[in-house]
Amino acid sequence: KNEVEQSPQNLTAQEGEFITINCSYSVGISALHWLQQHPGGGIVSLFMLSSGKKKHGRLIATINIQEKHSSLHITASHPRDSAVYICAVYDKIIFGKGTRLHILP
Amino acid sequence: ETGVTQSPTHLIKTRGQQVTLRCSSQSGHNTVSWYQQALGQGPQFIFQYYREEENGRGNFPPRFSGLQFPNYSSELNVNALELDDSALYLCASRPRLAGGSGELFFGEGSRLTVL
């Protein structure tokens, strides 16, 4: 079993839908990072959190340390949100395999 | 403030050759880490450097080696290339913060193809 599991692996939704991507981990962590990767490879940091909730624009990230689980939510999704979303945990740096999101216009 | 830059962006090598990939850290960042990302997979941690010393390594053989320079830029060297080494190699830098880990900032990656 992978130490960091993401679900779903692939997600296709219509523009405007509310999106949830989940990340569960089995190791002790000091922080969790949500990343966005567009075709071509570049990775952009979305959130880094160690407790509670963070919001930036239409993106919201939550983490429950006791349950070892984090979620990334996208409200009012848009085709430009189409990308691979990856969660990563620290201090032993472990990445999930990513969730491929495709938003249809 | 410049971001993380990697070079080259693409390269093709043949099996058995050696390759050097380069990374310039974001200004003010003293920790750099390297990752291998195969097609359709998440990045895999190769190693991390802090103040020119390796201070963490993933499950990669010794033919993967690295350097960090006094200006915090870094190199990844891979010897005796194998076909399975074909991947996107990502570099990330971060500040080393007391009490925790700083946020990672990634370069655009170097895409290596081994024929």
Span B61-70, pLDDT tens digits: 999 999 999 8
User: Cβ of A91 and B101 within 8 Å?
Assistant: yes
In chain B, residues with a C-beta closer than 8 Å to the C-beta of A88 are: 43, 104
Of B2, B46, B39, B3, residue with least CA distance to B21 = B46
Q: Which of B42, B45, B58 sits opposite A86 (nearest CB)?
A: B42
Given this model, what pLDDT does residue B97 score?
64
Average pLDDT, chain B: 90
In chain B, residues with a C-beta closer than 8 Å to the C-beta of A40 are: 108
Quick one: average pLDDT of B12-36?
A: 93
Q: Is A80 helix (H, G, I), strand (E, B) or coil?
A: helix
Quick one: average pLDDT of B44-50?
A: 92
Instruction: Determine what percent of chain B is predicted with pLDDT higher than 90.
Output: 70
Q: Is the pLDDT of residue B46 over 90?
A: yes
Given this model, what pLDDT does residue B40 score?
84
Q: Which residue of A has its CA nearest to B88?
A: A41
Dist. CA A86–CA A46, nearest whole Å: 10
Given this model, what pLDDT does residue B101 score?
59
pLDDT band at B55 (very low <50, low <70, confident <90, very high): confident
In chain B, residues with a C-beta closer than 8 Å to the C-beta of A92 are: 56
Taking only the tens of pLDDT, chain A with its 105 residues reads 689 999 999 999 999 999 999 999 998 898 999 999 988 778 998 999 999 999 999 999 999 999 999 999 999 999 999 999 999 998 778 899 999 999 999
Q: Is the pLDDT of residue B51 over 70?
A: yes
